[in-house]
Amino acid sequence: MEAAYNHNLYFSTMSPDGGGEPEGSLKVALDDAFGSFSQFKVQLSALAAGQFGSGWGWLSADKAGKLHLLSSPNQDNPLMEGGGKVPILGIDVWEHAYYLKYKNLRADYIKAFFDVVNWKEVSNNYEKLLKG
């Protein structure tokens, strides 16, 4: 189940027209939590790159709208930890996600991932959570 949930989120937040930066309430929340969008990117990239073996890097939000970065092994995700953190963006760092194009260069894949993130969709996920 988790594998399907994780991949649905992953593919729904990617677009060939993606990239750039989020706007609106998500931008404000990212600035609050991490100082800036670029700091957020650095931190999530480092987490995802550092996840040992297969797994995921996540941007999650709680009901109060606070953002959290997490990584998890295999097909785990932040919902499984309890505590009400709901993923709004996930980076698949299983080797199958990047091996064809990037070989073992996970960091290059993560960098390229940010060029295809559909921030409108991530913002929608965030705003849906806030509305509860």
In the complex with Fe ion, the residue whose CB is nearer, 92 or 121, is: 92
- Which pair of tokens denotes residue 117? 């993130």
Among candidate residues 70, 56, 64, 72, the one with its CA nearest the CA of residue 29 = 64
Residue with CB nearest Fe ion?
92
* Per rule CB under 5 A, count of chain residues that contact Fe ion: 3
Shortest distance in whole angstroms from residue 74 CB to Fe ion: 10
Shortest distance in whole angstroms from residue 93 CB to Fe ion: 9
Binding mask 22-61 for Fe ion (x = CB under 5 A): ----------------------------------------
Residue 16: count of CB within 10 angstroms of its CB: 8
Residue from the set 37, 94, 102, 114 that interacts with Fe ion by CB under 5 A: 94
The DSSP annotation for 65-107 comes to --EEEEEEETT--GGGG-TT-EEEEEEE-SGGGTHHHHTT-HH
**Residue 92 found at the interface with Fe ion (CB under 5 A):** yes
Shortest distance in whole angstroms from residue 78 CB to Fe ion: 16
Which residues are near Fe ion by CB under 5 A?
92, 94, 97
